[in-house]
């Protein structure tokens, strides 16, 4: 079938597009290349350089008539969302609304939405967090990503547009950009490979739920092929501290460098891990790649880059 991937030149979107093509689907990628990279575009995909907020997006949908849309294009910088919530909302809410309007007008059957689990629940009252936990985001990024979930529900009720929301943990792996807190494996790897001392923001005890990009791609493929409509947390359900992820990357690189500890950044929760039992029961999804294996794959990717530098 023909599928459209917004943000398909980015980290997760490009890995997903690779697998969609390998599965025999016709893939159209929409990306404005603000953070996505042209070199990530897979051979065989149709590429449209368009901002999701632009009216030009309607022409793309009119010409391509996709059956399924994977919506990955987003502003993902939590810290910047605190400084500039209007920009964050313009991309993550108004951009998503433009995508949904295109879906409604041009006969898209289903949207698979890349949501967030890490920034959605605020400081959780229990861990790992399931889908029934109260949603109290403390960053504008978490607010904007969650808002789209409500729009998806409304579009299904009013227009019959099917959807699956996949709430991502901290995803890492090859092609991850070294920008923002979510790119910490990439940041640490590139710095350690260059002999630099990475900075951990806070005292190193902050925890996240790290999941390898290949496992996240598998969840998207399962969502494509199921009639189930709903919201699903993804993750390993395991808390990993900043110091632990640093040590895992350092071990994979094979150096003896200690981190620098800096001030905690605003808008970040202290602890999060996601319960993916619903995704396992209803989608048949289960993570497979453990942390050491996944970090080793990521480090191998960055070690092979011709120029090891933060961009």
Strand bridging mode 207-208 / 240-241: antiparallel
Alpha-carbon distance 10 to 262, whole Å? 28
163 is catalytic: no
Question: Which one of 87, 113, 126, 141 is the catalytic residue?
Answer: 141
H-helix or E-strand spanning residue 42: none
Alpha-carbon distance 233 to 243, whole Å? 24
261 phi, psi to nearest 5 deg: -105, 125
First CA to last CA across the chain, in angstroms?
36
CB 232 within 8 A of CB 120: no
Alpha-carbon distance 91 to 88, whole Å? 6
Closest CA to 186 of 73, 297, 40: 297
Closest CA to 169 of 141, 134, 210, 201: 210
Pair of tokens at residue 222: 């399962």
CB 173 within 8 A of CB 210: no
CB 284 within 8 A of CB 222: yes
Closest CA to 112 of 49, 204, 20: 20
CB 28 within 8 A of CB 60: yes
Residue owning tokens 């453990």: 290
Q: Which residues are catalytic?
A: 141
């Amino acid at each position: 079938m023909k599928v459209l991937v917004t943000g398909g030149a980015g980290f997760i979107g490009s890995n997903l597009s690779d697998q969609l093509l390998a599965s025999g689907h016709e893939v159209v990628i929409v990306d404005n290349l603000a953070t996505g990279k042209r070199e990530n575009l897979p051979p065989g995909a149709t590429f449209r350089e368009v901002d999701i907020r632009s009216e030009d997006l309607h022409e793309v949908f009119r010409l391509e008539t996709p059956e399924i849309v994977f919506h990955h294009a987003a502003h993902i910088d939590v810290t910047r969302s605190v400084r500039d919530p209007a920009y964050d909302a313009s991309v993550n809410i108004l951009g998503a609304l433009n995508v949904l309007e295109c879906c409604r007008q041009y006969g898209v059957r289903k949207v698979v939405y890349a949501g967030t689990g890490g920034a959605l629940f605020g400081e959780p009252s229990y861990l790992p967090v399931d889908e029934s936990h109260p949603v109290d985001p403390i960053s504008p990024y978490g607010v904007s990503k969650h808002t789209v979930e409500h729009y998806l529900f409304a579009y299904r009720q009013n227009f019959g547009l099917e959807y699956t929301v996949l709430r991502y943990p901290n995803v890492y792996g090859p092609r991850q950009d070294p920008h923002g807190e979510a790119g910490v494996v990439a940041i640490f790897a590139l710095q350690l490979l260059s002999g630099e001392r990475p900075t951990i923001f806070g005292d190193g005890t902050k925890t996240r739920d790290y999941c390898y990009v290949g496992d996240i791609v598998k969840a998207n493929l399962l969502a494509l092929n199921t009639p189930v409509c709903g919201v699903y947390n993804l993750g390993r359900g395991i808390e990993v501290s900043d110091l632990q992820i640093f040590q895992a990357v350092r071990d994979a690189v094979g150096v003896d460098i200690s981190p620098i500890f800096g001030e905690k950044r605003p808008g970040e929760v202290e602890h999060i891990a996601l319960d993916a039992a619903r995704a396992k029961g209803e989608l048949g999804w289960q993570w497979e790649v453990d942390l050491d294996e996944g970090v080793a794959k990521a480090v191998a990717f960055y070690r092979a880059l011709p120029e090891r530098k933060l961009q």
